[in-house]
């Protein structure tokens, strides 16, 4: 099917019936017309049509293709008009009126039966596009588009006009921007305008990265969401300094290429990575992929993660100034799609990581918008360059020196913070419940006294005639109810001590716990523990841990008894600060329980919340969240 020819018009029009092309000619494609809402078909007329018919029954159409379009679009009125000096009264004045710029409150539909002519339409930047029509061309102009019509030099056009409902031919001359039809027309272009701006922004961003030396050759890529179910992605093999907005691919969520560049090109291999990240992280709206020297050097340290602190620029990646920027590092592969499994595992482990480094390759930087991804990439470039220079002159890493205003004491919860909840719930508690039967036979009298005192506080009876049986019953009952009472906690500590000494128990630690403790102590900070378990139980779990004896890193242990209040009361943290000889503002408390963080904060401590595997979901809050103690 031959396409209708269209082109941008010259600025000066001396003869409206001439072609009035620009020099050189600037053609307009059918896709560009479609973006403006202009539809077209080419159907050669069959049979003879009268010179004039008002109305003309559209059911009498002799061409099945034309009839199909009529039925699909709901046209139920038609007439036939012939424009020529012989057939159209007041011909010259009518042509002047046709050429007056105007809109209609409905579609304008023309099917050329004989002859030829021009429709001119405005594009979104208010430039005139001339559309040449001849026999067989069917054109639909949308409601609200500024347009005009003129004959060509042949001065003859016979056309069928189609309409929905009762025809209204009244033109609404420009200015008509406040007319409802014009406003509806402009609204339909909001998505297209967003796409146009996003395309231009991606090109601007990548040209900037080229200037930084991060996208040399044809390396580097960018992907950005366009709505919920599509994204714009750069092509492969196009140097970024030569990239143009129309070079980008529009790809659906399912991978279908919705819009492809005019130039022969292939979509970037980064598409697979971008799509995987967009699916995994709904908040990510843009991803920048760079190949910088500093990114390659930073990833060449043998670690699984690069941690940056004491650097103002980490704020540009969404990390608080007193926080830690954690950058997962993954191994390079032969092709980018092969990176996806390991990259997704890294994002699962480091849930808030704003970027991922790839060894011997580069970096992927994520943002909630293209501008945020750009800023994040620029800040990452600065940070990695700084790290590279520090290494080259052997400047001590920031972890080895205390920051101004940094906490001098780090107070740690145990369950869900240093140690998986599953170890406490599934190993320690069941062990105490099963071990108490044998242990209680040699229990000292003070154990029964402590249990009896707690029963008096609970206002429930205690069987003095059978104290050992009561201790066993209450121990199992209180463990099942997860009660935080001193009598139980002290007994659990004794039972666990026996288990550790017999090597029936070994404290389980998160991998980052000893690493974080090492770093804190090396930087001159003190580490303390605050748990609802007894201080003896706390010391045992760290002394007999699966990471070795960690008690050498710990300066003090606190439980609710020694802190004189529960973990959810500010008084406890005030007492701990006094015991440690610090002002509360010098302390940092790490926990997985919001109420505990709130209590510490009310006492003047800083607090962070741990998101660990197995921890309960956190309600809405204002505290900083981390998935790793190294980031605290």
Active site residues: 312
179 is in an annotated binding site: no
153 and 91 Cβ atoms separated by less than 8 Å: no
Burial code (b: 16+ CB inside 10 Å, e: under 16) for 259-275 equals ebbeeebebbebbbbbb
State how far the Cα of 185 lies from the Cα of 179, in Å rounded to an integer: 10
State how far the Cα of 112 lies from the Cα of 137, in Å rounded to an integer: 5
143 and 137 Cβ atoms separated by less than 8 Å: no
Q: What are the tokens at 71?
A: 């039925």
558 and 528 Cβ atoms separated by less than 8 Å: yes
State how far the Cα of 343 lies from the Cα of 358, in Å rounded to an integer: 9
Other beta carbons within 10 Å of 492: 24
102 is in an annotated binding site: yes
Burial group, residue 290, by CB count within 10 angstroms (0-12, 13-18, 19+): buried
291 is in an annotated binding site: no
> For 397, how many CA atoms within 13 A lie in the half-sphere containing its CB?
12
> For 443, how many CA atoms within 13 A lie in the half-sphere containing its CB?
26
Alpha helices in 552-627 (DSSP H): 560-563, 570-580, 594-602
Three-point CA angle 79, 85, 91, nearest 5°: 75
* Cis peptide bond N-terminal to 275, omega within 30: no
Three-point CA angle 585, 591, 592, nearest 5°: 145
Other beta carbons within 10 Å of 564: 13
Task: Give the sign of the dihedral formed by CA 277, CA 282, CA 284, CA 287.
Answer: positive
15 and 113 Cβ atoms separated by less than 8 Å: no
State how far the Cα of 186 lies from the Cα of 179, in Å rounded to an integer: 11
Comparing C-alpha atoms, which of 496, 495, 513, 514 is closest to residue 505? Answer: 496
Residues forming a β-bridge with 500: none
The pairing of beta strand 355-358 with beta strand 325-330 = parallel
Q: What are the tokens at 597?
A: 């963080």
572 and 593 Cβ atoms separated by less than 8 Å: no
Burial code (b: 16+ CB inside 10 Å, e: under 16) for 86-98 equals eebeeeeeebeeb
Annotated binding residues for Fe(2+)? 102, 104, 108, 147
Which segments are annotated as binding site?
A: 102, 104, 108, 147
Binding residues for Ni(2+): 102, 104, 108, 147
């Amino acid at each position: 099917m031959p396409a209708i020819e269209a082109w941008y018009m010259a600025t000066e029009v001396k003869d409206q019936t001439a072609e009035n092309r620009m020099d050189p000619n600037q053609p307009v494609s059918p896709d560009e017309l479609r973006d403006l809402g202009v539809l077209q078909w080419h159907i050669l007329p069959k049979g003879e049509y009268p010179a004039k018919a008002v109305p003309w029954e559209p059911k009498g159409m002799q061409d099945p293709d034309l009839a199909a379009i009529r039925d699909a679009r709901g046209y139920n009125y038609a007439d036939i008009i012939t424009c020529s000096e012989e057939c159209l009264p007041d011909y010259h004045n009518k042509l002047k009126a046709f050429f007056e710029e105007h809109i209609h409150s409905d579609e304008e539909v023309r099917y050329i039966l004989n002859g030829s002519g021009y429709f001119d339409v405005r594009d979104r930047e208010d430039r005139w596009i001339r559309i040449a029509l001849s026999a067989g061309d069917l054109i639909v102009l949308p409601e609200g588009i500024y347009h005009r019509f003129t004959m060509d030099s042949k001065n003859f056009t016979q056309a069928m006009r189609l309409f929905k409902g009762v025809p209204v031919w009244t033109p609404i001359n420009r200015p008509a921007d406040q007319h409802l039809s014009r406003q509806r027309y402009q609204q339909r272009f909001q998505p297209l305008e967003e796409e146009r701006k996003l395309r231009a922004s991606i090109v601007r961003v990548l040209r900037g990265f080229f200037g930084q030396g991060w996208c040399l050759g044809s390396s580097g890529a960018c992907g950005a969401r366009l709505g919920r179910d599509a994204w714009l992605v750069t092509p492969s093999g196009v140097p970024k300094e030569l990239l143009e907005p129309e070079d980008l691919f529009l790809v659906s969520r399912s991978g279908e290429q919705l819009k492809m560049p005019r130039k022969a090109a292939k979509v970037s291999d980064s598409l697979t990575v971008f799509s995987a990240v967009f699916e995994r992280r709904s908040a990510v709206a843009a991803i920048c992929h760079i190949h910088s020297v500093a990114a390659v050097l930073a990833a060449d340290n043998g670690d699984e993660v690069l941690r940056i602190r004491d650097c103002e620029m980490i704020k540009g990646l969404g990390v608080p100034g007193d926080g830690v920027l954690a950058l997962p590092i993954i191994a390079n592969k032969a092709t980018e799609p092969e990176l996806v499994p390991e990259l997704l595992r890294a994002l699962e482990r480091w849930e808030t990581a704003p970027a991922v480094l790839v060894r011997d390759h580069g970096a992927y930087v994520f943002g909630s918008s293209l501008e945020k991804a750009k800023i994040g990439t620029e800040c990452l470039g600065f940070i990695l360059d700084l790290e590279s220079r520090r290494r080259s002159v052997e400047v001590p890493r920031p972890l080895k020196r205390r920051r101004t205003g940094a906490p001098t004491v780090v107070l740690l919860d145990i369950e869900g913070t240093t140690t998986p909840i599953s170890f406490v719930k599934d190993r320690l508690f069941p062990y105490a419940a099963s071990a108490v039967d044998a242990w209680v036979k040699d229990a000292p009298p003070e154990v029964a006294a402590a249990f009896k005192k707690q029963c008096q506080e609970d206002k429930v009876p205690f069987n003095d005639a059978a104290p050992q049986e009561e201790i066993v019953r209450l121990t199992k009952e209180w463990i099942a109810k997860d009660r935080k009472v001193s009598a139980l906690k002290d007994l659990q500590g004794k039972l666990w001590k026996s288990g550790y000494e017999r090597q029936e128990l070994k404290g389980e630690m998160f991998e980052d716990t000893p690493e974080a403790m090492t770093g804190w102590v090396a930087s001159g900070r003190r580490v303390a523990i605050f748990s609802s378990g007894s201080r003896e139980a706390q010391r045992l779990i760290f002394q007999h841990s699966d990471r070795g004896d960690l008690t050498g890193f710990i300066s003090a242990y606190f439980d609710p008894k020694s802190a004189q209040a529960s973990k959810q009361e500010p008084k406890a943290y005030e007492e701990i600060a006094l015991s440690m000889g610090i002002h509360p503002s010098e302390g940092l408390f790490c926990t997985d329980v919001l109420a505990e963080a709130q209590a510490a904060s009310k006492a003047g401590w800083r607090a962070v919340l741990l998101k660990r595997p197995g921890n309960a979901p956190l309600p809405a809050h204002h505290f900083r969240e981390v998935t790793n103690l190294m980031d605290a």
